[in-house]
Amino acid sequence: MSFSLHPRLVSDFHLLGRNGALHVLLQRNAILPWFILVPETAALELFEVPAVLRRELNSVADRLARFVKRHFESDKINVAAIGNIVPQLHLHVIGRRRDDCCWPQAAWGHVEGTRAYSEQEQAILTRALVSEHLLEARNTP
């Protein structure tokens, strides 16, 4: 199947890598720990995702949520499939804290401020995701 990520996802997110049939992305704005999982499917709604891929998506989303909660000391994990702007099916996994930019509002349309991840932060995060089997290790040339 020919599959490419939606340009809006590519522009707003770091493409961290893959986990099986899922792409693992990290919002470039580090003001909130905001991941998305993009399953390789033409389905636009969660209920249209083939069963095997859906189980994979749920399983990785759950493990990612646990990781985010621990790694970022989040008070609450927000999980959502919205897709009003980017129709390509993607699942948000966002770590929220009572002291973050926009608590207790939902993140969409309420984020204030921007910050970039440093290269070191990205490297630490990527290593942690690989060691948790949330991200496949990439062979560097």
Residue 78 binds a copy of itself (CB under 8 A) = yes
Residue 70 binds a copy of itself (CB under 8 A) = no
What are the tokens at 49?
Answer: 């995702």
Strand partners, 13: 27
The rounded distance, in Å, linking the Cα atoms of 98 and 130 is 28
Among residues 45, 99, 112, 119, the one that binds a copy of itself under rule CB under 8 A:
45
Helix (H, G, I), strand (E, B) or coil at 36: strand
Among residues 10, 15, 42, 106, the one that binds a copy of itself under rule CB under 8 A:
106
Radius of gyration, alpha carbons of the chain:
15
Among residues 15, 82, 116, 137, the one that binds a copy of itself under rule CB under 8 A:
82
Residue 6 binds a copy of itself (CB under 8 A) = no
The rounded distance, in Å, linking the Cα atoms of 122 and 14 is 9
Q: Which residues sit at the interface with a copy of itself, rule CB under 8 A?
A: 44-47, 58, 61-63, 65-66, 69, 76-85, 87, 96, 103-106, 108-110
